[in-house]
């Protein structure tokens, strides 16, 4: 990326440009190496962030679906639209199925719809959605991309808005998990990017804080899809000082998909 393009990207993300103190200053680009075999560990036992960049952590597969889920897009979308499997169906305006190319190499997963998403039936359409679009643009990705190498599919761990924008509860997540898992099987992404603490905890089945979850490269589900974790755009709007860390995570995503 040339210097002019880099400045444009950083300005869009609200990160101040910087220059190294010496011409030999080390790059901040984080290299990610994925070993062919990895030990199974728990999140609580994860190593310090500066030691885990080259380690792959495996997590147990999610619970098997308790009901039969449609195996194609044509059946899955109406199944989600008419879902009554948890109490969130009583207060929703629209289900929020997901958006993007159905064979994208990158799948982004958030926690759940907010008020704007519930009204429009599309994920990440408010201020946080605009920031997410800028974040994806910074690594050459877009929810509207028609070229597969630039495509992304965006979804949430729950398809209905929790009342008052509260965190989705465990039973709600488990009721909705078969839909998300089927989306992952259909998209077949090379990488899943989980946004924020709630999405990370619900996907990995842990209560560990984001500070411990962010960093390692995990595997998710029976397909062992690689999964990384970064900050939720809504959090970045409240805490702009963390945008530099988010930018580092995005560079890891870009490197992984470019390999």
User: Is the Cβ–Cβ distance between 229 and 194 less than 8 Å?
Assistant: yes
Report how far residue 65's alpha carbon sits from residue 85's, in angstroms, rounded to the nearest whole number: 12
CATH value at residue 242 = 3.40.470.10
The DSSP letter of residue 53 is T
Q: What is the DSSP string of 117-160?
A: HHHHTSSS-SHHHHHHHHHHHHTT-BTT--SGGGBEEEEESSSS
pLDDT score of 49? 36
Residue 30 lies in a domain: no
pLDDT score of 67? 74
> Whole domain around residue 84: which residue ranges?
45-258
pLDDT score of 101? 94
pLDDT score of 56? 46
Number of domains forming the structure of the chain:
1
Report how far residue 117's alpha carbon sits from residue 96's, in angstroms, rounded to the nearest whole number: 7
User: Is the Cβ–Cβ distance between 177 and 210 less than 8 Å?
Assistant: no
pLDDT score of 19? 47
Helix/strand/coil for 219: strand
Extract the tokens encoding 75. Answer: 């059946």
pTM for the full predicted model: 0.78
Q: Which residues of the chain have pLDDT under 50?
A: 18-65
pLDDT score of 148? 86
Residue 27 lies in a domain: no
pLDDT score of 37? 34
Of the candidates 224, 18, 192, 27, the residue with the CA atom closest to the CA atom of residue 110:
192
User: Is the Cβ–Cβ distance between 203 and 194 less than 8 Å?
Assistant: yes
Report how far residue 60's alpha carbon sits from residue 221's, in angstroms, rounded to the nearest whole number: 7
Residue 28 lies in a domain: no
């Amino acid at each position: 990326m040339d210097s002019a393009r880099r400045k444009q990207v950083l300005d869009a993300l609200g990160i101040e440009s910087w220059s190294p103190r010496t011409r030999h200053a080390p790059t901040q680009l984080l290299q990610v190496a994925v070993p062919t075999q990895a030990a199974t560990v728990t999140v609580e036992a994860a190593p310090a962030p500066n030691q885990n960049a080259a380690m792959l952590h495996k997590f147990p597969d999610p619970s098997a679906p308790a009901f039969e889920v449609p195996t194609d897009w044509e059946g899955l979308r109406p199944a989600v639209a008419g879902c009554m499997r948890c109490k969130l169906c009583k207060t929703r305006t629209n289900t929020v199925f997901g958006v993007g190319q159905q064979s994208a190499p990158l799948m982004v997963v958030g926690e759940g719809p907010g008020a704007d998403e519930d009204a429009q039936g599309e994920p990440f359409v408010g201020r946080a959605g605009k920031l997410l679009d800028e974040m994806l643009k910074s690594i050459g990705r877009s929810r509207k991309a028609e070229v597969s190498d630039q495509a992304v599919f965006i979804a949430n761990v729950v398809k209905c808005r929790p009342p008052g924008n509260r965190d989705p509860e465990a039973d709600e997540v488990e009721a909705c998990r078969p839909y998300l898992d089927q989306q992952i099987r259909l998209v077949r992404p090379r990488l899943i990017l989980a946004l924020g603490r709630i999405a990370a905890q619900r996907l990995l089945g842990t209560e560990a804080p984001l500070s411990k979850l962010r960093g390692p490269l995990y595997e998710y589900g029976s397909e062992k899809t690689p999964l990384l974790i970064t900050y939720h755009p809504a959090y970045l709007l409240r805490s702009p000082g963390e945008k530099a860390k988010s930018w580092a995570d995005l560079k890891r995503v870009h490197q992984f998909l470019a390999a």
